[in-house]
């Protein structure tokens, strides 16, 4: 029962975004300290480049680019799902404190864990996911009201509180760190894309390949959950169970992303909202657009952060927040106005 | 034996017991209205009967099986529910929401098969909203929205439909329109209807069977001519009412009503 015009619009938006994404990727890869020109880039891409270009592209810039793309997609997808299951347009892993929970777990791990440099990158997403899930379950537990179920508003309020507490906890723990560790956590909290080598891609990709298709498969249930609780129940959705499964899946998704790119908020807010503004709230339609939008936003933010200053860089998380924070305020204004 | 029955029901919100040890039976293929004063537990009973609210004790059986132990999706093929003033995500179109009514019949990604499309088109047509198919629901008027929700319930293709105050927030013409539509469904499709209504005269006019409740207890249940009386209205609603015959429908209607205990009118207004 989807308007065929809407379907056509979705395809057009996807195509345009794909082109924009390709342009953003090209801009990102060709800029930087070593300026690769366009023809060299394209040649290298099809395997005809010079040794030096090949090295820079394949060893340095490509893995970082892939990480950025995948993280953008993961954060946007995760935000979309969390918004749908809490029916709160302002919910997102950053705002709910799930990112901070992952960060806190990582900080704890650095202080008390046995950091083995060989397995560190593979363990990190697991640690972050465990922290994220624990935080999310705490939010669920605290916002659960017997008889009434889970209140979306309570959920966000508790998330904001937890987020502040956990970030504070991470900062407090910095005193136990040596200089490198403290610098790492500080950069992590600012959302600095630090995982920029192939092993990080390998540590990250399997999660994406499992969870994103799983969430796509759940589109139909998500549509129903996104109406209202009574309708969802009356249509036969096992609401509490489905919500828990979807929450855990989306929390893992954002947590593994922030494990490698640092605490980046707002992508999960902007990606889905921009996507819905094109094709409406049906998940089958807007999720693909949300993925592309998230990837595009993060690539652009990272590239801006890398190039805008004559010396040094700005973490992608900060650049995203510069656009994201006003957007959040705008959404809050809109949500209240309705 | 009717298809939907409740035995020894105790229903509570948290620890607050609303209804205790209640027996109820919903007559097949008829329109049943549950009426009673605010807070009497009528909405609670309605929600429990269609498994939206878990029960503490007792058993609600549909075709002999416990609805709280059956697969929820299977129940959704037999009972459709129109919640009280339901909300919907911004930007959702009429056709999309109505298509969600096919969820109990779908697996996986939710592709609509030709049969689904046929049922959806039928539901849109019966409720007279075919022309709104591609409109955004939140842009429609209250009466139109309510018809969209009824269309979604119809798309579930159930024999039983529950409606929780389907006419609230509608003007009188739209209230009648919705109730006429419900009556037509009952007559043409033999759909069993259970609804909570606030307006007693509308309940009398549009239903066959009436359940009256007060303080979590069922005072009477039965066919309207048999159970309706001035004494009942005095007991349940605390009103002194005259029962007359409605010239239009031939059914009873209440008129000239006032409070039994007229404490409010005794307050001197300066």
Residue A97 lies in a domain: yes
Contact list in B for residue A10 (CB cut-off 8 A) is none
Q: Do A237 and A117 share a domain, yes or no?
A: yes
Which range marks the domain in which residue A110 is found? 91-263
Give A52-66 as a DSSP string.
HHHHIIIIIIHHHHH
The shortest CB-CB distance from A227 to any of B81, B89, B136 is to B89
Min Cα separation A329/chain B (Å)? 19
Is there a contact between B109 and A237 if contact means CB atoms under 8 Å apart? no
Min Cα separation A308/chain B (Å)? 37
Contact list in A for residue B98 (CB cut-off 8 A) is 1
Residue A216 lies in a domain: yes
Contact list in A for residue B106 (CB cut-off 8 A) is 220
Q: Is the pLDDT of residue B82 over 70?
A: yes
Q: Is residue B150 within 8 Å of residue B82, measured between CB atoms?
A: yes
Q: Do A168 and A285 share a domain, yes or no?
A: no
Q: Decide the pairing of beta strands B160-164 and B79-82.
A: parallel
Q: Do A105 and A251 share a domain, yes or no?
A: yes
Nearest CA in chain B to A283: B109
- Report yes or no: B88 at the A interface, CB cutoff 8 Å: yes
Of A220, A238, A263, the last residue of a domain is: A263
Which domains does chain B show, CATH number per domain?
A: 1-75+193-270 (3.40.50.300)
Q: Do A241 and A299 share a domain, yes or no?
A: no
The string of pLDDT tens digits covering residues B172-189 is 999 999 999 999 999 999
Q: Do A181 and A274 share a domain, yes or no?
A: no
Contact list in B for residue A5 (CB cut-off 8 A) is 134
Is there a contact between A236 and B80 if contact means CB atoms under 8 Å apart? no
Min Cα separation B155/chain A (Å)? 11
In chain B, positions 205-264, which contact chain A (CB-CB < 8 Å)? Answer: none
> For chain B, give me the number of helices (H) and strands (E)?
10, 12
Contact list in B for residue A235 (CB cut-off 8 A) is 73, 76, 100-101, 103-104, 156
Mean pLDDT score, B85-113: 89
Q: According to the model, what pLDDT value does residue A338 have?
A: 45
What is the spatial distance between Cα A77 and Cα A319, in angstroms, rounded to a whole number?
Answer: 20
Q: According to the model, what pLDDT value does residue A236 have?
A: 94
Q: Do A235 and A131 share a domain, yes or no?
A: yes
pTM of the model: 0.89
Question: Helices (DSSP H) in chain A: which residue ranges?
Answer: 4-30, 38-45, 51-55, 62-86, 98-112, 120-143, 152-173, 179-190, 198-217, 219-225, 229-234, 239-261, 267-279, 283-307, 316-337
Facing residues of B81 across strands?
B162
- Report yes or no: B58 at the A interface, CB cutoff 8 Å: no
Mean pLDDT score, B106-116: 87
Q: Do A110 and A248 share a domain, yes or no?
A: yes
Q: Do A130 and A238 share a domain, yes or no?
A: yes
Q: According to the model, what pLDDT value does residue A88 have?
A: 82
Is there a contact between A220 and B106 if contact means CB atoms under 8 Å apart? yes
Q: Do A250 and A121 share a domain, yes or no?
A: yes
Q: According to the model, what pLDDT value does residue A21 have?
A: 97
Residue A26 lies in a domain: no
Q: According to the model, what pLDDT value does residue A156 have?
A: 76
What is the spatial distance between Cα A322 and Cα A67, in angstroms, rounded to a whole number?
Answer: 21
Average pLDDT taken over every residue of chain B: 92
Contact pairs from chain A to chain B, CB under 8 Å = 105
| Helices A152-173/A179-190 angle, 10° precision | 160
Q: Is residue B95 within 8 Å of residue A2, measured between CB atoms?
A: yes
* Spatial strand order in the sheet of B217-223: B79-82, B160-164, B192-196, B31-35, B209-214, B217-223
A197: left (phi over 0), alpha (psi -120 to 50) or beta: beta
Q: Do A225 and A306 share a domain, yes or no?
A: no
Q: Which CATH number characterizes residue A198's domain?
A: 1.10.3470.10
What is the spatial distance between Cα A144 and Cα A139, in angstroms, rounded to a whole number?
Answer: 8
What is the spatial distance between Cα A280 and Cα B89, in angstroms, rounded to a whole number?
Answer: 9
- The angle formed by the CA atoms of residues A242, B101 and B71, to the nearest 5 degrees, is 50
Q: Is the pLDDT of residue B6 over 70?
A: yes
Residue A29 lies in a domain: no
Total of domains in chain A: 2
- Report yes or no: B131 at the A interface, CB cutoff 8 Å: no
Mean pLDDT score, B190-208: 95
Contact list in B for residue A1 (CB cut-off 8 A) is 93, 95-96, 98-99, 112, 117, 120, 133
The shortest CB-CB distance from B76 to any of A223, A226, A234 is to A234
Q: Is the pLDDT of residue B265 over 60?
A: no
The shortest CB-CB distance from A223 to any of B13, B98, B100 is to B100
Q: According to the model, what pLDDT value does residue A65 have?
A: 93
Question: What are the 10-residue block averages of pLDDT along chain A, 338 residues in total?
Answer: 84 97 93 80 83 83 92 97 88 91 90 77 91 91 71 77 90 81 83 84 93 95 92 93 93 94 92 94 95 97 90 89 88 68
Q: According to the model, what pLDDT value does residue B179 have?
A: 96
Contact list in B for residue A284 (CB cut-off 8 A) is 109-110
Residue A13 lies in a domain: no
The string of pLDDT tens digits covering residues B22-41 is 999 999 999 999 999 999 99
Residue A86 lies in a domain: no
Q: Do A224 and A294 share a domain, yes or no?
A: no
Q: What is the distance of C-alpha B178 from the center of its chain?
A: 12
Residue A255 lies in a domain: yes
Task: Reduce the DSSP state of residue B26 to 3 states and report it.
Answer: strand
Residue A2 lies in a domain: no
Contact list in A for residue B76 (CB cut-off 8 A) is 234-236
Residues 6+ apart with CB under 8 A from A143: A150, A151, A154, A155, A158
Q: Do A247 and A286 share a domain, yes or no?
A: no
* Spatial strand order in the sheet of B65-66: B16-26, B4-13, B57-62, B65-66
Q: According to the model, what pLDDT value does residue B233 have?
A: 94
Is there a contact between B50 and A234 if contact means CB atoms under 8 Å apart? yes
Min Cα separation B120/chain A (Å)? 8
Is there a contact between A1 and B133 if contact means CB atoms under 8 Å apart? yes
- Report yes or no: B17 at the A interface, CB cutoff 8 Å: no
């Amino acid at each position: 029962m989807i308007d065929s015009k809407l379907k056509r619009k979705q395809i057009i938006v996807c195509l345009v975004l794909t082109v924009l994404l390709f342009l953003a990727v090209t801009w990102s890869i060709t800029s930087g300290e070593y300026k690769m020109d366009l023809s060299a880039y394209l040649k290298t891409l099809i395997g005809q480049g010079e040794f030096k270009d090949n090295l820079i592209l394949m060893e340095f810039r490509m893995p970082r680019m892939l990480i950025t793309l995948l993280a953008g997609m993961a954060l946007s997808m995760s935000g979309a799902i969390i918004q749908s299951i809490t029916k709160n347009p302002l919910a997102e892993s950053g705002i709910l404190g799930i990112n901070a929970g992952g960060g806190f777990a990582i900080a704890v791990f650095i202080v008390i864990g046995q950091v083995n440099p060989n397995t560190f990158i593979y363990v990190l997403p697991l640690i972050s996911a465990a922290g994220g899930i624990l935080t999310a379950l705490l939010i669920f537990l605290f916002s659960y009201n017997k008889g009434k179920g889970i209140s979306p508003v309570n959920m966000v309020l508790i998330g904001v509180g937890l987020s502040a507490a956990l970030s504070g906890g991470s900062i407090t723990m910095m005193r136990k760190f040596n200089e490198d560790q403290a610098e790492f956590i500080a950069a992590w909290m600012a959302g600095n894309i630090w995982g920029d080598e192939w092993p990080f891609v390998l540590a990250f990709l399997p999660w994406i390949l499992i969870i994103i298709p799983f969430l796509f498969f759940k589109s139909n249930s998500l549509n129903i959950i996104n109406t209202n609780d009574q309708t969802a129940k009356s249509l036969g959705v096992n609401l509490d169970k489905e919500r828990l499964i979807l929450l855990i899946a989306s929390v893992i998704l954002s947590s593994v992303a922030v494990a490698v790119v640092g605490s980046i908020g707002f992508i999960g807010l902007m990606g889905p909202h921009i996507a819905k503004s094109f094709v409406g709230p049906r998940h089958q339609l807007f999720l693909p657009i949300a993925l592309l939008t998230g990837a595009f936003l993060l690539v652009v933010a990272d590239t801006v952060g890398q190039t805008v200053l004559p010396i040094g860089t700005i973490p992608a998380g900060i650049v995203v927040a510069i656009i994201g924070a006003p957007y959040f305020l705008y959404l809050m204004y809109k949500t209240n106005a309705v | 034996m009717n298809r939907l029955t409740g035995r020894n029901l105790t229903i509570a919100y948290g620890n607050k017991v609303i209804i205790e040890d209640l027996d109820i039976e919903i007559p097949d293929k008829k329109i049943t209205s549950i009426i009673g004063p605010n807070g009497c537990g009528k909405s609670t009973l309605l929600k429990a009967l269609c498994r939206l609210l878990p029960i503490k004790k007792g058993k609600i059986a549909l075709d002999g099986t416990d609805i709280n132990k059956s697969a929820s999706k299977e129940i959704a093929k037999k009972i459709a529910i129109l919640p009280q003033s339901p909300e919907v995500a911004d930007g959702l179109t009429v056709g999309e929401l109505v298509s969600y009514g096919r969820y109990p019949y779908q697996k996986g990604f939710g592709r609509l098969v030709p049969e689904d499309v046929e049922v959806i088109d039928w539901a849109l047509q019966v409720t007279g909203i075919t022309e709104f198919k591609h409109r955004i629901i939140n842009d429609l008027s209250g009466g139109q929205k309510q018809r969209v929700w009824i269309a979604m319930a119809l798309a579930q293709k159930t024999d039983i439909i529950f409606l929780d105050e389907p006419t609230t927030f509608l003007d009188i013409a739209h209230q009648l329109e919705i109730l006429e539509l419900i009556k037509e469904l009952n007559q043409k499709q033999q759909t069993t209807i259970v609804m909570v209504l606030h307006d007693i005269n509308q309940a009398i006019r549009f239903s066959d069977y009436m359940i009256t409740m007060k303080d979590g207890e069922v005072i009477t249940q039965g066919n309207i001519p048999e159970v309706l009386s001035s004494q009942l209205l005095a007991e349940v609603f605390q009103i002194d009412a005259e029962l007359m015959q409605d010239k239009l429908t031939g059914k009873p209607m209440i008129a000239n009503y006032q409070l039994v205990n007229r404490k409010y009118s005794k307050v001197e207004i300066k």
